[in-house]
């Protein structure tokens, strides 16, 4: 691992800075050993970062789209060139298997590449006038300073998915990464500096406590937009605290993803899709399968094949060969995961495979049979390597069960019937639907949810729109 990519301070106005002597430690979740100590910037650094971004906005927004694109392209190239080192840092601080980490680095870089191009396609309009002596023109302009608050489970991709469209549109940014995974964030900020972003255009604030930093972003009239990925509870707080400044928010929040297996499904493909979706990053992703709904006719066949494959998943340190299930992010996550299993057993569920913590850092990949609506994971996001199996007997029942949640992020189903595929996809109350597919995330597709899973979209041609204001100009008295 390249130690020249390791930094322990916040990055503000082109400089690595700290405020006072506060710091916090970063731990390897595979063994709970300390891997770094970083300075805690807190609200003081956050305010300085917002000021720096605001001061840089005028100059950056007036650059040509091509100019901004070239720097973004350079940043993308540097991330790819350093992908192995970045992946090692990622596995060290968040625990995911090294193969997944390498995949995330490339996935994260793809957003920079995509939006480097999309920034050159922010087209306005000329609207046919309602009067012969008037001309109507619509411009699209950058919204201003953007605050990005990102989670630990995708510590690189969640930054680039928010920051790349903002920078491409002409906005300046302040990033607050998770206190669990600050090292990947500082590493790519260093590469952004090398790529040539001017001082103040891209800033990073490290902090142990997210609350005071988030409050600075919410209450500041200089911050025009917040993009947040995290829990629904925190999303509500940010929404409420931003009311006084009436800023725009993009919120990618919790999920309760159903995975429906109809009686005509290709069972082997459905099992493969369920495992790919559920157990990536040890089940610690917002689009992970949370509930598998299986038709009565194939319940036994599907559950047997699923358990057989799940039992083969190797658990261990993310650097170990062939490991598929890395550690949980911390002890609290293990305790929460265990509570779901215990709750299900008390309410009539059956452990079909797994079901136990492994030491202080890991949890066995687990399948729970005989799940019912009374169990906690029917309403709550598991965020761990546990999946419950439910039965249904009709299409109407399956859709009703799938939609019986406050969340609406990702959903999945398997069927060979094209008519059913259209109908069910339209009836599912989710922002994203995987049809005979368990992996749906891509830089070219809009990512986001409905209901209590948030608002706004990231990625795709739609992902840049939340960083833009529309200006209508009316030219009158044209003779």
Nearest to 367 by CA among 358, 348, 354, 380: 354
Of the residues 94, 171, 218, 286, which is catalytic? Answer: 286
Q: CA torsion sign, 93 to 97 to 100 to 102?
A: positive
Token pair in block for residue 37: 């100590």
Of the residues 252, 364, 381, 443, which is catalytic? Answer: 252
Phi/psi-derived region of residue 397, left when phi > 0, alpha when psi is between -120 and 50, beta in every other case: alpha
Identify whether the C-beta of residue 13 lies closer than 8 Å to the C-beta of residue 48: yes
Query: Is 361 in the active site?
Result: no
Query: Is 286 in the active site?
Result: yes
Which are the contacts of 461, defined by CB distance < 8 A and separation ≥ 6? 118, 121
Catalytically active residues are 252, 286
């Amino acid at each position: 691992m390249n130690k020249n990519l390791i930094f322990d301070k916040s990055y503000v106005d082109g400089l690595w800075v700290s405020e006072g002597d506060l710091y916090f430690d970063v731990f390897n979740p595979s063994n709970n050993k300390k891997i770094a100590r970083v300075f805690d910037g807190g609200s003081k650094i956050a305010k300085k970062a917002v000021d720096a971004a605001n001061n840089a906005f005028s100059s950056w927004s007036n650059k040509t789209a091509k100019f901004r694109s070239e720097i973004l392209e350079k940043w993308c190239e540097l991330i790819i060139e350093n992908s192995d080192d970045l992946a090692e840092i990622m596995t060290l601080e968040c625990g995911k298997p090294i193969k997944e980490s390498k995949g995330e680095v490339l996935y994260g870089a793809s957003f920079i590449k995509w939006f480097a191009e999309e920034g050159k396609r922010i087209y306005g309009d000329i609207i046919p006038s309602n009067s012969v002596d008037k001309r109507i023109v619509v411009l699209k302009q950058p919204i201003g300073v953007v605050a990005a608050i990102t989670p630990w489970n995708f510590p690189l991709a969640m930054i680039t998915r928010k920051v790349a469209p903002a920078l491409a549109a002409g906005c300046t940014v302040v990033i607050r990464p998770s206190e669990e995974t600050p090292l990947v964030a500082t590493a790519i900020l260093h590469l952004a500096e090398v790529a040539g972003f001017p001082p103040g255009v891209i800033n990073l604030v490290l902090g142990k406590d997210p609350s005071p930093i988030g409050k600075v972003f919410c209450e500041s009239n200089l911050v025009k937009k917040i993009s947040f990925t995290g829990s629904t509870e925190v999303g509500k707080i940010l929404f409420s605290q931003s009311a006084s400044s009436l800023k725009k928010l993009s919120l990618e929040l919790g999920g309760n993803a159903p995975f429906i297996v109809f009686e005509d499904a290709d069972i082997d493909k459905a099992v493969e899709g369920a495992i790919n979706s559920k157990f990536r990053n040890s089940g610690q992703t917002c689009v992970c399968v949370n509930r598998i709904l299986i038709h009565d006719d194939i319940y036994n066949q599907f559950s047997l094949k699923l358990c057989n494959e799940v039992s083969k998943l190797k658990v261990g340190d993310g650097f170990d060969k062939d490991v598929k299930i890395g550690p949980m992010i911390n002890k609290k996550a293990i305790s929460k995961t265990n509570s779901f299993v215990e709750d299900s057993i008390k309410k009539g569920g059956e452990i079909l495979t797994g079901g136990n913590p492994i030491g202080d850092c890991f949890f066995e990949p687990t399948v729970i049979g005989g799940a019912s609506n009374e169990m906690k994971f029917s309403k709550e996001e598991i965020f761990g390597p546990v999946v419950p199996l439910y039965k249904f007997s009709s299409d109407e029942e399956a859709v009703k069960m799938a939609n019986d949640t406050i969340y609406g992020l990702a959903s999945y189903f398997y069927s060979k019937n094209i008519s059913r595929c259209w109908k069910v996809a339209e009836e599912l109350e989710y922002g994203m639907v995987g049809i005979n597919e368990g992996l749906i995330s891509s830089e070219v597709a809009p990512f986001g949810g409905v209901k209590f899973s948030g608002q706004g979209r990231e990625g795709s041609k739609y992902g840049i729109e939340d960083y833009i204001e529309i200006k209508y100009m009316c030219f009158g008295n044209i003779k």
